[in-house]
């Protein structure tokens, strides 16, 4: 999965180019995780398209609002007041794992 290789990509480019994440982002926690692993931006496609397909523009806007609330919750639980506070955690052995957190 894209999230599992993200830390290696971030390490390989060593800050020379920004790394963007696109794939498998379904929840605000996915956005927080990608940013914490070093992505500088996260693209969200499928959830927005589902919202658009079911309810048009209002559905797409609702999905984005839900993602924003979920991201805010994840940041609060992580103690991150700003997006910049979600920094790569090199010492976190489970950072690249797809296993669910306990």
Residue 54 inside a domain? The answer is yes
Q: What is the pLDDT of residue 30?
A: 95
Residue 19's contacts (CB-CB under 8 Å, 6 or more residues apart) are 6, 9, 10, 13, 38, 39, 40
DSSP readout, 54-67? HHHHHHHHHHHHHH
- Long-range contact pairs involving 23-31 (C-beta distance under 8 Å, separation at least 24): 27/67, 27/70, 28/66, 28/67, 28/68, 28/69, 28/70, 28/71, 28/72, 28/73, 28/74, 29/70, 29/71, 29/74, 30/3, 31/67, 31/70, 31/71, 31/74
pLDDT single digits (tens) 37-65: 999 999 999 999 999 999 999 999 999 99
Residue 95 inside a domain? The answer is no
- Please tell me whether residue 86 adopts helix, strand or coil conformation: coil
pLDDT, greater one: 99 or 79? 79
Domain count, the chain: 1
Q: Which domain holds residue 63?
A: 2-81
pLDDT single digits (tens) 9-44: 999 999 899 999 998 999 999 999 999 999 999 999
Q: Is the pTM of this model over 0.75?
A: yes
Residue 50 inside a domain? The answer is yes
């Amino acid at each position: 999965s894209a999230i599992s290789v993200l830390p290696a990509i971030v390490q390989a480019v060593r800050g020379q180019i920004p790394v963007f994440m696109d794939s498998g982002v379904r929840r605000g926690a996915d956005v927080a995780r990608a940013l914490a692993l070093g992505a500088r931006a996260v693209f969200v496609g499928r959830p927005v398209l589902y919202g658009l397909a079911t309810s048009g523009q209002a559905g797409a806007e609702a999905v984005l609002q839900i993602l924003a609330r979920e991201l805010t919750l994840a940041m609060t639980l992580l103690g991150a007041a700003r997006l910049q506070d979600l920094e790569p955690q090199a010492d976190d052995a489970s950072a690249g794992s797809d296993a669910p957190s306990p």
